[in-house]
Amino acid sequence: MKKAVYRILDANLDRAREGLRIIEEWCRLGLNNQPLAEECKQIRQELAQWHSWELRQARDTPGDVGTDLSHPQEETRDSIEQLLQANLCRSQEALRVLEEYSKLYNSEMAAACKQMRYRVYTIESSLFNNYRLQQLHNAPLYLVTSPEPEILKIVEAALKGGLTLVQYRDKEGQDSDRIAKANQLCQLCHHYNALFLVNDRVDIALAVDADGVHLGQHDAPVGFAREVLGSHKIVGRSTTNKQELDKAIAERADYVGVGPFYETPTKPGKPALAVEYINYVNAKCPVPWFAIGGIEQNNLNAVLTTGAQRVAVVRAIMKAEQPMQVTRQLMSQLIRR
């Protein structure tokens, strides 16, 4: 029994350290995040201190019946997020095994592994929050959907055109239909490594595991959305004036929508923004902001001259005959700026 326990400890010490090294490399070279990279390295070094010669001597790789066990999902990774999640789970599971079996070997090791497991949970929260925020920051174009019969085809065409940020907006459908559609769109966006947010409905965002939610001025507070969805999800807020922007910043929204830049049927009765507010946003907004409201190819350059670097569109893509081509053209105009 002792040798079997030693083999389990040896295998899981290796497994936990290997998973953490993969996470560490992305934190260091993918995100340039020194604190997260250092924490991964620190946990690996602490595990190494428990990896005694006694445990290593118990290793029997040729006699391990699990070396040939595999699963098709382990053969490929569809995105960097999926790769990171798989290796975080690998480390967390290994640490849980170490915690339990160490109770038969060394109680201090068991306690240490328990605390390291909690630290890896913290790394996971920080990592995905950082990853999503980086994706948000790098997204120049934001598609807000409208209820179209071919919504899935339109969104997929836009994703193929380079779109990386989608918001599902449907204020009139039944909840059961909206949840089903949101789930389909969420899976589609994640297949193309794009962020998927839900308009207004924190509950639907939670139900489909969306990357976040976009809130209007009369929707739930930002803090409530964070409490429900978790601190690692994105929360955005619409703004139309200085007071609304200041409140969104105070609530610590991850981004804001600024509009309408032009009169639009999406926001009936709302006049176009005053130049003074756009100047205020440029001077005071510390988070990414998206110009929105009647923006299309013909007026995009004029929008960009106001200082906007990111735009959100609805009809420009949702009503386009060739949404993939239009997306590429919009992206090209934005990237050139």
- Cα distances (Å, whole numbers) of residue 216 to 34, 201, 248, 258: 35, 10, 10, 11
59 is catalytic: no
252 is catalytic: no
From 169, 201, 237, 310, active-site residue: 169
In what helix (H) or strand (E) does residue 311 lie, and over which residues does it extend? strand 311-313
Distance of alpha carbon 255 from alpha carbon 251, whole angstroms: 11
Q: Determine the 3-state secondary structure of 107 from DSSP.
A: helix
- Cα distances (Å, whole numbers) of residue 321 to 118, 140, 184, 205, 327: 51, 22, 22, 29, 11
Distance of alpha carbon 301 from alpha carbon 306, whole angstroms: 9
267 is catalytic: yes
> Of the candidates 195, 140, 203, which has an alpha carbon nearest to the alpha carbon of residue 166?
195
Query: From start to end of 233-296, where are the E strands?
Result: 234-239, 255-258, 289-292
Q: Are the CB atoms for 250 and 244 separated by under 8 Å?
A: no
From 103, 242, 267, 328, active-site residue: 267
From 44, 233, 238, 310, active-site residue: 238
Q: Are the CB atoms for 191 and 214 separated by under 8 Å?
A: no
**Residue numbers annotated as active site:** 169, 238, 267
